[in-house]
Chain A
Amino acid sequence: MAAVVDMAETLAVPQEGRRRAFRAFLSNPAGVISLAFLLCAVALALAAPHLYPEDPLSMVARPFLWPGQNASYPLGTDSLGRDVAAGVVWGTRISLLVGFCAMALGISLGLLVGAVAGYFGGRVDDALVKFIEIFQTPPSFVLLVVLVAIAQPAISTVIVAIALVTWPTAARLVRAEFRSLREKDFVMAARGLGYGHARIIVREILPNALPPLIVSASVLVATAILMEAALSFLGLSDPNVVSWGSMIGAGRELLRTAWYLCAVPGVAIVLTVLALNLLGDALNDSLNPRVSAKR
């Protein structure tokens, strides 16, 4: 369908608005630093097989080496003699992978349901809102634990489970945007030109609804990373991969004697999630013309 062909082109925020938003973003130091930090994290994750070619779960040295004690193991070793630095680097890979994939899946699902509900309204909207509420009624983490417990504990199922828990947020946001945008004069004008519903949704309304969605995407990545860490901490995630959460979980019992085993991956989580949230704030400020006009 023509509407789908046009989609790629549509998804690009207009050039000029992009330039203005980019300038506004550059003037925000917190956002720039956060973005730089996240890019480093991505680089680290991509480089993990080169930096630590060995399995991070293999025992490589004497256990309980403290950070700085041995230059070969800058972040020390854990109770089984596994390299903490290798664990953190490989954990970055898992955390970012889960974060981005769960966000992409959740946003896609939310976009689909929210756009249809918000655009058509009426009974379609009522039915879809009820459907969204089914996912919002149980406490989200309990739902997540149940979903993972039912399925196999693998990274892919963790991603799907997190997406299923977080998509209602995206769906509600998209629905609200579409509800207000469908009343705009340009949507009426588009109908007056003979455009069909699919085309109006994808080409006319969606690009206008993107800025708040981009902002919420960064927060959703942070939420997904936290959820994955919590699952791993409880030992519900894939036992064959190292993640920040599983490292904290393993170090928990040694908190009084070797606190760095929890602190090192903990700091990684805190910094990443903080950076994602600050990036979200900065994007919000730069993509929202009303806010950036005040600066």
Chain B
Amino acid sequence: MKRFTVIAGLTCAGLVVLAALLSLVWTPFNPRKVSGTRYAGPGWPHLLGTDSLGMDTASRLLVGAQTTLVVGIIAVAIAAVIGVPLGIYAGMGHRLAAEIMERASDILYALPALLLAILLAAARGASVGTATAAIGIATIPVFQRMARAATLTVMSQDYILAAEMSGTKRWVIAVRHVLPNIAPLLGVQAAASFSMAILAEAGLSYLGLSAPSTTPTWGRMLRDANLYTAPLQAIIPGVAIALAVMGFNLVGDGVRDYLDPRLKEVR
């Protein structure tokens, strides 16, 4: 069963990656230009039909996968690169630092990605960049808190005391003992946050707070679709978002198992 879910996850995520890679070299039509009649049904030459302006849906879907992946990767990278070291530092016994970070996290939690995106869009103009930054910044406390909680668990283990008794420096303990032991949890969190970032970007695009109308993104495609006239134009990007979210979540579970040698023993 476990194997099946990992394969299913890899298949879904792999399709998204494949679509993004394929769109770098080939798309059936120019995804930014009108190539047919409005709301044309699926058929030849428009395999998935056309949208409200007559642009090829299949081409926009393929190019939209690029945006989805880039937003997910950069947003998670921003959150993890800032949140994980802060969480480990706070978890390794620096009480004042932990207290300050907790309060800072509370403030960030109070500012959801949507509000941050509105703020950044107001300051810098709505773009994929501002949406990605907003999602990344809003996800920092998630990584910081998870890293701190996981670090506290690791720090209670005797092998940390043994390392201290050996005279191992604190930063070496963090890199050699703490980080590898919390990595499986962070891997799962990264996959979950990746999925959430995809969803958040789709939401922000839908609200017009991300890519401009010329840039094909799945959220934008949902926004431009008319559910009554051509429901398929809403269903296609919706299904793509759902598959991507599910796929990366399942891959996250697989990553956890792969990174933890204790779980290999069970398999």
Asked if chains A and B come from one complex, the reply is no
